[in-house]
Structure 1
Amino acid sequence: MIYQNLLLEKEDRIAVLSINRPKALNALNQDTLIELKAAVNEIKDDPGIDVLIITGAGDKAFVAGADIAFMQPLSGVEGRAFGALGQEVFRLIEAMEKPVIAAVNGFALGGGCELAMCCDFRIASASAKFGQPEVGLGITPGFGGTQRLPRIVGPGMAKQLLFTAEVIDANEALRIGLVNKVVAPEELMDTVKKIAGKIIKNGQIAVRLSKAAANEGCQTDIDRAMTIEADLFGLCFSTLDQKEGMQAFIEKRKATFTGK
């Protein structure tokens, strides 16, 4: 598929998906969300890709937010439909079995912060800025921000950011646990690709089951979560990757995983 608002590159089992509307600071309109859904489905179904990196084109913005010019004239019904579309696409990213890393290279505000939060974790450029400034526009976050932000940084800090519309820098995002690491802008993509490379070296069935266990377990009580973990742990022992990984350990060699 040819994308008008995205750039998609695939190399060495890594896909890099860039939101590409630099004149609009990569703001998300309806067409971009529809393309994003199609691209994520393409990556999800591509057996040659094990890790997805999401970033923004240019050096100013990851995603500066949802497109305000697009949203301003919407009715209540239309606004809800737009929010539901954003939620659907971001939930698709979050639930994809393959790991997804956000490489946050600039403004990640509103829908951009929400896009970063639906990824498995976030690595930020020192120039990155984060925030949910929607209340300053007379709206709430609509693409999952009110739900994911408390889960990531805790309810108190999340509510402070949601209620004040405060924009924070990368170091503060690191302090509160919104991002895992902050690096110099010129080091961002190399850093994220190195992390992706470490993931790729491991057994991919085990990586994906670990993601499933973590995602599902966080949404339930600890006893049910332990059952989920036990079931997926047991499932690993029906794979060739488990046999190879443990045999390689015994033989003191590197494992050759096949994803089977």
Structure 2
Amino acid sequence: MARKYSIAHLTWLPWTPAEMIYNTHLLDYDYVSLRTISQGLPGEVNHDISNGSELFKLTEQALKDTGMRINDIELAKIDENTTEIKKYEPHLEAAAKLGVKNVITNIWTPDKAFYTEKFGELCDLAAKYGMSVNLEFVTWAEVKDLKSARELLAAVKRENALILLDTLHFYRSRVTPAELKDTPKELFKTVHICDAGREIPTDKESLVHTGRAERLYVGEGAIDIAGIVKNLNDDVVLCVEMPHVKRVARIGAVEHARRTLETAKEYFKAHGIE
């Protein structure tokens, strides 16, 4: 079977969901992965499609026009301010109306008892809308590696709890091939793919900078992306997440999105993954 590709909104966040759908449909992507839950970051555009907004209607029409699908939405993060998981319900409800089956979360508080409880609540809320919760471990977050992600899933014991593997965080949190092979493959439905240099920064600022502004095309850096993907099921969605501010300034967002897909397909073909 042919591999399915999605593109993460972070690759070029200023596009509205409808723009993302129309543009990437022309580039031959299979899915889009949208950030419809704003993080309140400096300069971030709010793409909230909940509550029957005009943005929702435009997104719905774009899906009908193109036949594209939304693989997932983000980011239902859990931090010290996430006292009410129900605040995410309008976002999940709107996404479910568009056929979305996955929501992404990260953990940003050291209070293990608190985030375990809230993660379980998020899984229960998502289940109400037929959605899975994909826990992405992030190098500079509290749940920062595969081991701690598996521990959290084991603690909550929810059938709709999954792990979202990001090749950048996989590499920079020093997950070993043995750890990946020991993890049940059914826990992975999506993998964020990008490349990075061999050096692993030790300071948070550098880690964040790469993650949000300077990810490399697949095959351009030092990450054994093929080795990772070969240990996952063939139906895992390959989601390119490659924000690169300087490249977009030089060649434009559409061309950058085209190259992210082209280079990924060329790389995987060369490694016997198609």
* TM-score past 0.5 threshold: no
Higher relative contact order (CA 8 A, sep 6+): 2
Over alpha carbons, which structure has the higher Rg?
A: 1
Task: Compute the TM-score of the two structures, normalised by the length of structure 1.
Answer: 0.33
Per residue, is there more helix in 1 or in 2?
Answer: 1
